[in-house]
Chains A and B, each alone.
Chain A
Amino acid sequence: MKLSVNGTPRDVDPSRSPTLLAALRDQLELTGAKLGCDHGECGACTVRLNGDLVYACLTLTAACDGAAVQTVEGLADGGTLHPLQQAFITHDAAQCGYCTPGQLLAAAALLDQRPHPTDDEIRTAMSGNLCRCGTYPKIVTAIRSVADASGASATRADAPPSATGDAP
């Protein structure tokens, strides 16, 4: 069975790896998508399937015939990091880093759909990706910085109150 993975045609055998996550990790040796629960609970395995976000652990390999899959390994453009990757580095948005590949793909999908999300939209869109290290505030900052750098201004009217009392 053929897949396009990060732009490269690849062969996988669905009978050896029922889930897309197992196919990526075990057959294609792409271990960027992480195994956190194997049951659609954590988001560590998040990849993009024909542009859509999916939990690879809940995606049947056999259903992906001919599909285009993007994993974290395919996020950079050659030697140039994706702006989100750079922002995650700059804003310390990865502690242990185990959730990071999934967070990056979820963030990339969000910004493709809504280039200028509000903070609330970021929080909602990203809530399927757990981070037990508690990197969330910095992930929001990183996504925000990429969204803000890409031009038009976003409305932030529905942002939660600032942590400090003297802000509005």
Chain B
Amino acid sequence: MSGSRDAKSARFVQTIVEVEGRTETRIVEVPAFEPAPWTADAPLTIVGTSPPRVDAFEKVTGRARYTADTVRPGMLHAVIVRAPIAKGTLTSLDLTTVRTLPGVRGALGPGDAPSATRLFRREVSYAGQPLAAVCAESLQDAERAAAVLEASLAFDRVPHAVTVDDAIAADAPLVRRGGNATEPTIVERGDVTQGLADADVTITREYRTPVALHSALEPHGAVCEWTGDHLTIWESTQGIFRVRSDVARALDLPQGQVRVLKDYMGGGFGAKNGAGAHTYTAALFARALGAPVRCLNDRRAEQTDSGNRPATVQKVTVGARRDGTLTAIVLDALVPLGVSGWDGGPAQVYHEMYACPNIRTTETCVYINASGMQAFRGPGYVEGAFALEGAINALAHALQIDPVALRLTNLATRDDRVDREFSSNRLAECYAEGMRRFGWTSAVPPRPSTVSRLRRGRGVAAQTWPTGGGPPAYANVRINSDGSVDVLTGTQDLGTGSRTILAQIAAEALGARLDAVRAVIGDTERLPYAGNSWGSMTTPSVGPAVRMAADDARTQLLEAAAQLLETPVDRLTTRGSQVLRDGVAARSFAELCRALGKLQIVGHGSRGPNPALAVVTVGAQFAEVEVDAETGIVRVLRLVAVHDAGRIINPALAESQLHGGIIQGIGYAVFEERHIDRTHGAPLNANLHDYKVPTMADIPAIDASFLDGADPAANHVGARGIAEPPIIPTAPAIAAAVADALGVELCALPLTPWRVLGALAG
């Protein structure tokens, strides 16, 4: 939907945007102009190269300041006291004594926070729920006081349900007033009864996936400071504007009185999408005490009550003809969300991964007495793909067809879920390139040896994930009087590298040197709006806005230069922060800007509407594992990943994103699982010793790559998102390799020694 706008065309239109796999219709402004798309063969010199991160120096020298490092003059420290039980009523707590303890400046308990913050309620519905908070001059004093307060808590306990099975049992305690299970969401196309009748082979499996914890190394945290009735918040967040609106709503403030700042953050992965208990606690104490307040989760709180990937139980049936053509896919899923959450939806991937005429998915969300879920890298698709890809691999084995060949037979050629053509879908090429790199042969492997102790196996799985991004997102590009360039946009860099790639896009479009361009992000007060950095959306949403702003700035600069140089503008171009006349350097940006005096050049850009196409990032992963049949230990030996995300802005940074997703996928496959004690209702492994994330020693050789090319139909930069796709196929590829090694399928994650030995014992 590019091209210039004439007087008759609408200024605002509807467009469809996919966020974390969910579809939203939005009203968006049509930009005044949109640059012509950068096609695959566009002669780009900065986009597509791998300069180091613009903030790498700060990170390796310790100068990068994270929220946890933020200190304000006279700053106090707040600590939240949390429920040790899963369900009941807080009957008493001793705030009076706590207020007299050394260093303590304030304490908050039930009734002390505005109801919109949902803080400090007496009704307890999960372990880890905030019940009260203390604020003191030092963190040490605050922690001591919190311990005293915690010891003073008394409860009336009632029975809880912390597992899905307990929550749906006939006599289950009520987790939420409306009932423990939601109405099932049923999505169907075609006729699965007929599809199953047409099948020569059907496979039915029940898959179980665990609760996984984001475990960002920097915990959630905020520093809040009031100046009169204006609140400034430093927050480790993926969405500064979302934090602003959350806090404004909860504290009943106009948004203009809340400023949210974020410079560096130590990871988010979906758990840091809005304000949280720590934000409200810091803001309330700061207002009451007239001093800045910092509130950080400790690691236990972080692993207990800061979001999680919900568990799933997925019963899957797939039917196919003897030649491998799928005739039906049926899913029945239970998703225990915790006490709250949205349906991250394992079902969705079932509707878009394969060209199958008959699909029915039934999803039921279940409430349990545990902290609510949050989006976690590829929400829903990670869980869904584990089961769907597992069933497809089982089908391949049953049909004695190579699992890649089976997938190619059923390749989706359009997105039937949203009933749209793809902007581009090169999954078949990803398989081919992955097979080549891995050395995958299409021959069906011989049965594994069941005598050796160390058994090797190979497996494959694939992914799709909506990564089109979309409006609204705005950017300004300002050329300073010394020729340096500021890219101004209210987005955030979680560690993904958005600061770097937005500078690259601006430098490319403007014809500036990259080292003269700086991206200024993370400030709701001074920067134009950009949305949350979630759903792999930042590059395809903000990137085009930045490019348009840089284009606009370049046009203005050239028009001004045409006057100054008395040369028609069509003879002028820019490159390397120079204006060229007939291809020969005439003036540097610095010289030109000096000559232009105080004239300020600011280009404006916005993200235009989405095309009426399905925009997805796809990929295939191949794993080789070695399983020790005596100890049950699974070792991932190597992993080959090939993904297609359209144009890659910075290949080195994009490769790092693939590594990150794959390594989290290895954790999900082999180690990670939150445990809650069923009897007591409290978490058993709310720390990084017992909740096992991969260490360097666990990481195999990883060969991760992208297909070359661009997707100019998706947006005019030609880039799609990449952050979430790589975690999706890792676990099913590893599980397939383990099944190949052992000759036994394991249908529950993680693939711990106990599960492996149990499966081997039959």
Contact = CB atoms under 8 A, between A and B. Distances in A.
Q: Do A and B bind each other?
A: yes
Given A135-B656, A163-B639, A38 B688 contact: no
A157 B267 CA distance: 35
A163 B265 contact: no
Contacts of B315: none
B663 to A, nearest CB: 3
Contacts of A130: 217, 688, 693, 695
Interface string A52-88: 0000000000000000000111011000010001001
Interface string B28-66: 000000000000000000000010110111111111111
Contacts of B687: 37, 39, 41
B640 interface: yes
A36 B439 contact: no
A34 B218 contact: yes
A16 interface: yes
A166 B66 CA distance: 43
9 contacts: A88-B56, A89-B56, A96-B494, A98-B495, A134-B660, A134-B663, A136-B695, A136-B696, A164-B638
A137 B659 contact: yes
A31 B61 CA distance: 11
A133 B653 CA distance: 12
A104 B264 CA distance: 18
Interface string B686-698: 0111000111111
B438 interface: yes
Contacts of A123: 696-697, 699
Contacts of A39: 299, 687, 689
Contact of B218 (A94, A98, A128): A98
Contact of B52 (A90, A134, A160, A162): A90
Contacts of A128: 695
Nearest to A166: B439
Contacts of A140: 696
Contacts of B55: 97
A146 B81 CA distance: 46
Given A16-B138, A41-B687, A94-B60, 14 more contacts: A18-B140, A25-B69, A34-B69, A35-B296, A39-B689, A42-B217, A96-B265, A126-B697, A160-B700, A163-B700, A163-B703, A164-B438, A164-B638, A164-B703
A107 to B, nearest CB: 11
B248 to A, nearest CB: 27
A29 interface: yes
Contacts of B639: 163
Nearest to A73: B62
A49 interface: no
B652 interface: yes
B209 interface: no
B493 to A, nearest CB: 9
A22 interface: yes
Interface in B211-249: 214-219
Interface in B611-641: 624, 637-640
Across chains A and B, which 8 residue pairs bring their CB atoms closest together, nearest first? A165-B439, A32-B62, A96-B495, A98-B266, A97-B59, A134-B663, A163-B703, A134-B660
A133 to B, nearest CB: 5
Contacts of A37: 299, 687-688
A132 B537 CA distance: 21
Interface string A23-47: 0011001111111111101101000
B697 A124 contact: yes
Contacts of A150: none
Contact of A92 (B52, B69, B264): B52
B344 interface: no
Given A35-B68, A44-B217, A134-B664, A22 B696 contact: no
Interface SS, A side: loop
Nearest to A89: B56
Contacts of B694: 134, 136
Contact of A163 (B65, B217, B688, B702): B702
A100 to B, nearest CB: 5
A147 interface: no
Given A104-B60, A123-B697, A163-B638, A96 B266 contact: yes
Contact of A133 (B140, B219, B660): B660
A5 interface: no
B52 A34 contact: no
Contacts of A89: 52-53, 56-57, 60
Contact of B656 (A31, A42, A92): A92
A59 B640 CA distance: 41
A99 interface: yes
Contacts of B163: none
B662 interface: yes
A124 B216 CA distance: 22
Best-buried of A71, A81, A94 by chain B (most CB within 10 Å): A94
B186 interface: no
B217 A85 contact: no
Contacts of A95: 267, 495-497, 656, 660
Interface of B: 50, 52-53, 55-66, 68-69, 71, 138-140, 214-219, 264-267, 269, 296, 298-299, 437-440, 494-497, 624, 637-640, 652-653, 655-656, 659-664, 687-689, 693-703
A139 B497 CA distance: 17
Interface in A106-158: 122-124, 126-140
A99 B696 CA distance: 12
A124 to B, nearest CB: 6
Contacts of B64: 97
A102 B139 CA distance: 22
Nearest to A32: B62
Nearest to A84: B60
Best-buried of A42, A71, A75 by chain B (most CB within 10 Å): A42
A34 B68 contact: yes
A7 interface: no
Given A97-B495, A136-B663, A126 B265 contact: no
Contacts of B217: 34, 36, 42, 44, 96, 98-99, 130-133
B62 A71 contact: yes
A31 B65 contact: yes
A81 B437 contact: no
Contacts of A34: 66, 68-69, 217-218, 266
A76 B57 CA distance: 11
Best-buried of B62, B218, B698, B702 by chain A (most CB within 10 Å): B62
Nearest to B143: A38
A34 B66 CA distance: 9
A127 B688 CA distance: 13
A131 B697 CA distance: 12
Contacts of B702: 137, 163
Contacts of B267: 95-96, 98, 132-133
A88 B53 CA distance: 10
Given A34-B217, A37-B299, A129 B266 contact: no
A161 B69 contact: no
B61 A85 contact: yes
A165 to B, nearest CB: 2
A130 B664 CA distance: 12
A41 B138 CA distance: 23
Given A18-B140, A164-B703, A129 B696 contact: yes
Best-buried of A72, A85, A95, A126 by chain B (most CB within 10 Å): A95
Contact of A164 (B71, B138, B437): B437
A167 to B, nearest CB: 9
Nearest to B691: A41
Given A36-B299, A98-B66, A138-B659, A132 B216 contact: yes
Given A42-B688, A97-B264, A76 B700 contact: no
Given A18-B140, A133-B495, A140-B696, A160 B637 contact: yes
A162 B69 contact: no
A72 B69 CA distance: 14
B335 to A, nearest CB: 24
Contacts of B494: 96
